[in-house]
Structures are given as structure tokens and as C-alpha cells.
């Protein structure tokens, strides 16, 4: 994965100043003759006015990839438009080489908080098997067991956020 990112974008994700957001798809709109993307990194930019939006409504995901494993004990998700009808919050377990469920639910809404026993992981994914429409997530934030924000204070910018379709 690291080599693919370096080849495609000329960026070593391990040297990024913040996590890299990836997704299963990305919706793009035409506005005043320009293509505007609703990229995954916008779900981590600390701005409820921006968002990631999927192309579809089934089997979509939004993932946060850290350069180094982090202790994670809390996730806060904000949905821009209420469309999600089922979701799973998962982390990548290096030992089993598989996704492990942290929480699940039937709707997210304007703000959903999940607290759980701390896990150490380099990837966390919001997996969305079904939604009533395209999925639109304005923020997907992760926190350590001490309450520290794992996304900020290091800021996310378009310079270090990468979109990889079907990269997981």
C-alpha cells in the first residue's frame, strides 16, 4: 500500500503530518465548469461545512490510516445528511490480518459517539453496508484513551490527504 501511494501521488504516507483518509468511492459535482470532489480527507478537516460523499449507497467505507499505530478509545462521527441505515466501526488487527468490530448501529445522524476499550491500530474504518442515499460524512474523528484528539492538533490539508479508490 505504501509503495502504491508513493507511486501514484509522490508522497510517502509514513511522513505525513496527519492521518490519511481513504474511501471506497468519492462523489464529484460540476460547478461553474469545474469538477468539485467531496473527498475523504474532508471528513477529518474539523469543518462541519465540508464532507466526504460516496458515489453509492451500499458497501461503502471511509478509512483513517495512521503512519504509526495509535491507541484509540473513542470515535465521533457526524453525518451531513441522514442516509445511513446500517454501519460498523472497525479497526485493523495486525495479528489476525483482519477487521475487528468496535461498534455498530442503524443510524449516525448529526453526531454519534462511540467509546470503547482502547485498541492499538494503524487503521480504523467506518463500514456502511446500506444507506437510503449516497453517504455523506462531515466528520470522522478518533481519540485516545486520555481524550487526546488523534486527528488534530496536527492539521489535515489537501497536501497530505490522499484518495485511494478501493484501496483497503
Report pLDDT for 160.
Answer: 43
For the cut 90, the answer to whether the pLDDT of residue 11 exceeds it is no
Residue 142 · residue 72 · CB < 8 Å: yes
For residue 167, pLDDT over 50 is answered with no
In DSSP terms, which residues pair with 104 in a beta bridge? 88
Which 3 state secondary structure label does DSSP give 89?
strand
Indicate whether 37 pLDDT > 50.
Answer: yes
Residue 27, all three cell numbers = 462523489
Amino acid at each position: 500500500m505504501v509503495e502504491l501511494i508513493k507511486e501514484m501521488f509522490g508522497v510517502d504516507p509514513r511522513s505525513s503530518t496527519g492521518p490519511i483518509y481513504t474511501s471506497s468511492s468519492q462523489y464529484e459535482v460540476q460547478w461553474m465548469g469545474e469538477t468539485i470532489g467531496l473527498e475523504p480527507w474532508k471528513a477529518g478537516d474539523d469543518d462541519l461545512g465540508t464532507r466526504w460523499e460516496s458515489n453509492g449507497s451500499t458497501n461503502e467505507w471511509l478509512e483513517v490510516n495512521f503512519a504509526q499505530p495509535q491507541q484509540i478509545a473513542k470515535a465521533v462521527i457526524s453525518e451531513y445528511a441522514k442516509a445511513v441505515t446500517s454501519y460498523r466501526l472497525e479497526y485493523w488487527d495486525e495479528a489476525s490480518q483482519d477487521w475487528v468490530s468496535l461498534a455498530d448501529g442503524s443510524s449516525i445522524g448529526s453526531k454519534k459517539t462511540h467509546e470503547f476499550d482502547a485498541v492499538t491500530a494503524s487503521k480504523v474504518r467506518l463500514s456502511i453496508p446500506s444507506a437510503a442515499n449516497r453517504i455523506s460524512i462531515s466528520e470522522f474523528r478518533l481519540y485516545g484513551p486520555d481524550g487526546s484528539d488523534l486527528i488534530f492538533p496536527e492539521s489535515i490539508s489537501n497536501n497530505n490527504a490522499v484518495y485511494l479508490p478501493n484501496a483497503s
